[in-house]
Amino acid sequence: MINNIYNKIYSSPKLVLMEEIGKNLEFILKDKIKNIFKAGQDILIEVSKENLYQVLKELKENPELKVNSFQSTAAYKISKKNFLIINLTSFVNNFSVLIKIEISSRELENGCTEIVNALGEFYEPVNFYRDRSKLISENSDIKIFCQSLDGLDCFDLNISTDNDVVKEAYVDIDISRVVGNHYYKGLEIYNLIAYISRFDWKAGIFPEICLCSAFEELLQLKVPERARYIRMLLCELYRISNHVYFISNICNILGYDVAYSLSLLERERVLKLIETVTGSRIVPNFIRIGGVKKDISKEIISSIRKSLPILYKNIRRIEKIIIDDFLVIERLKNIGIIGKEIALDYGISGPNLRASGIRYDLRKDKDFISYKDFSFTVPICRTGDCLDRVLIRFNEIFQSLKIISQIINKFPSGAFIKRINLSRIEFKSEAVSHGIECPHGLFKIYIEVEKSNINSLIVKGPSMNSLILSEKILKENRLEDINLILASLDISPGEIIST
C-alpha cells in the first residue's frame, strides 16, 4: 500500500505521503490508539500503556508498515502529568512515528520498566535503557574512564576480555549531564536559539536551523529564498569543518602526525570562513525564525569562492596521503563493521548509515530547505567498517564543496529575513517534530507549545544511537582498536544527555 505511493527513500510530495500514511496507520491500529495526527515531519500517536504492546507489534510486524528502527525515548513533564515519547522509524517507507504515553511519577522514578520491557520485545537497542548495574559488575573486568579526545569524553566504558579481545562492552553515560530537563523554562525563544546550538558544539548551526524550522512550520512561515541559501551555505561549511575534524581525530589516534596537522590547518581555513559570515565559530547564534541574523556581502561570497579550489586541492592531498599508506589502510580495514540490518535496527543515520551501504540523506527530501535546486550525489560505501566511515567523510566533503560552488554562483537577491513579532504570537495547543541532516546524522527536535509557552522541548541527536551500537560492534575486536572504532562513529558529546 505505502510502496505504491512512495518510491523507496525520497518523497514526492512529502505532505501527501504523510497524510496517506496517517490514514493507513489510523485504519490499521483502529481502537488501539487514543489519537493520531501529523506533528511536523512525524506522525504522533497517543497510546495507553495497556495497548502499547499491541501497537508496537503492529508497527514492527505489519508488512505494510515495517517500522523496524528504534530512534529514541525521552520523558518530560507538563503541569502535573508525566509523559514518555518513543521515536520509531521506517527507513524503508521513509516515515517516523512518535508514540506518546502518559505515565505516573512512580513509573518515571522506576525507569518505566514495563514500557522498556515491552519495547525490548521488538527493538534490541532498548536493552541499553534497562537497569544493567548488576550485569556490568558481574561481566566486566576492565573500566576505561572518559578520555580527553573529543567524542570519547562523555562516557565511561566497561569491558570484559579474553586475552586482548573484547567479549562484552557496556557504555556508562552517567557522567553526561549537559542540561536539566527544564532548561528551556522561562527562556524567550531568541535566547533559546543561542542555547540550543550547545547540543552540537562541533556544528552548532544545525540545532539552530532545526529549532527555527520547527517554529516556522508551526507558523506556516515561508522563509525568503536568499535566507534559505545562506542557511545551506553555512550547513555545508559546518559539514566540511566537522568532517575534517573527524579525519584529524582518526589521524591523531593512528599517530599520523603529517595528516593530523594538515587536517587541522584546513579546518582552521573553514572556521575562518564561517567566522566571516556569522561572527563566531562554535556558537553562531545566527539563525532566526523567518531567516538569518544578517545578510551576506559580495566580499564574503568572493572570499568563499577563492577558498574553494584551495580546500579541494588540500583535502585531496590529505586523502591521498591516507589512502596511499598501506599500513593505515590495514589498520582501519575490517574493524568495527556495521552491517545494513544492524544499522537500520539501531537507528543510526548520516555518514555512519551511508558507510553501511544505505543511501539515505534528508537533503534529498524535496521539502528540505532548497537542496532540490542543486546537483549533488549521496555517496555510499559497502562494508561499513572504520575505513568506509573515513572514506565516506572525504566523499561528502567533496560533495559539500560542489554544493557551495553552486550556491555562490546563483545567490538570489532579496530579503534575508521575514520579520515577525514573536511576543504577540500565541500558538494553539500544538506539537511539532522537525529533523535536519547534520554532519553526524539526523538531528531532531520535538516541541509542544500552548499560547506563548513552550511546554516541552526534547532534543535528540544521532550520536546516542551510534554510542548504543558501539556496545555491539566492539565485540570480537582487539583492545588496541577500541579508540579507533569509537572515534569512527563521530560521537558529538553535546548530544549525549543523561537524565
> The domain that contains 82 carries what CATH number?
3.30.460.80
Domain shared by 226 and 330, yes or no: yes
Alpha-carbon torsion (14, 463, 121, 119), positive or negative: negative
Residue 180: pLDDT band with limits 50, 70, 90: low
Identify whether residues 334 and 448 lie together within a single domain.
yes
Q: Are 93 and 3 in contact (CB under 8 A)?
A: yes
- Asked if residue 157 is part of any domain, the answer here is no
Q: What is the structure's pLDDT at 447? A: 93
Which band of pLDDT confidence, cut at 50, 70 and 90, is reported for residue 13?
low
- For the stretch 447-499, pLDDT in tens is 999 888 888 999 999 999 999 999 999 999 999 999 999 999 999 988 887 55
The answer for residues whose C-beta is within 8 angstroms of residue 409's C-beta and 6 or more apart is: none
The total number of structural domains that make up the chain = 2
Query: Does some domain include residue 25?
Result: yes
Return the residue matching grid coordinates 543511501.
359
| CATH number (domain holding residue 212) | 1.10.645.10
Looking at 115-119, 121-125, 184-188, 193-197, which range is the least confident one?
184-188
Same domain for 107 and 204? no
Q: Would you call 358 helix, strand, or coil by DSSP?
A: coil
The verdict on residue 498 lying in a domain is no
* 102 DSSP β-pair partners: 83
Segment (H or E) for 438: strand 427-438
Whether residue 78 is contained in a domain is answered as: yes
Confidence of residue 161 (pLDDT cuts 50, 70, 90): very high
pLDDT at 260 over 50: yes
Model confidence band, residue 133 (pLDDT cutoffs 50, 70, 90): confident
Distance of alpha carbon 96 from alpha carbon 89, whole angstroms: 4
CA distances from 135 to 1, 130, 140, 160, 170 (A): 43, 10, 8, 11, 9
Residue 153 located in a structural domain: no
- Please tell me the predicted confidence (pLDDT) of residue 12: 45
| pLDDT for position 10 | 46
Cα Rg of the chain (Å, integer): 22
DSSP state of 417: B
Work out the angle at residue 323's Cα, subtended by the Cα atoms of residues 317 and 326, and round it to the nearest 5 degrees: 135
* Residue 304, helix vs strand vs coil: helix
- Assigned domain for 178 exists: no
Half-sphere CA count of 81, side-chain side, radius 13 A:
8
Q: Is residue 259 part of a domain?
A: yes
The whole domain housing 416 covers: 189-461
Across 275-281, average pLDDT: 94
**How open is the CA angle 473-385-435, to the nearest 5 degrees?**
80
What per-residue confidence (pLDDT) applies to 11? 44
Check if the beta carbon of residue 389 is closer than 8 Å to that of residue 488.
yes
Per-chain mean pLDDT for the chain = 90
Q: What is the per-residue pLDDT for 15?
A: 66
Does residue 148 lie in a domain region? no
Same domain for 124 and 197, yes or no, is no
Same domain, 112 and 209: no
Q: How many CA atoms lie within 13 A of 333 on its CB side?
A: 8
Residues 457, 349 share a domain: yes
Tell me, yes or no, whether 119 and 203 share the same domain.
no
Q: Which residue has the higher pLDDT, 413 or 64?
A: 413
Indicate whether 95 and 212 sit together in one domain.
no
Q: Which amino acid is at 131?
A: D
Cα separation, 221 vs 289, in Å, equals 9
Rounded to two decimals, what is the model's pTM?
Answer: 0.93
Strand partners of residue 454: 449
The mean pLDDT of 137-144, rounded to a whole number, is: 89
Same domain, yes or no: 201 and 95: no
Do residues 272 and 399 both lie within one domain? yes
Q: Provide the pLDDT for residue 498.
A: 59
pLDDT band at 179 (very low <50, low <70, confident <90, very high): low
The answer to whether residues 449 and 430 touch, using CB atoms and an 8 Å cutoff, is yes
Both 358 and 253 in one domain: the answer is yes
Residues 112 and 252 in one domain: no
What lies within 8 Å, CB to CB, of 103 at 6+ separation is 49, 75, 82, 83, 84, 112, 115
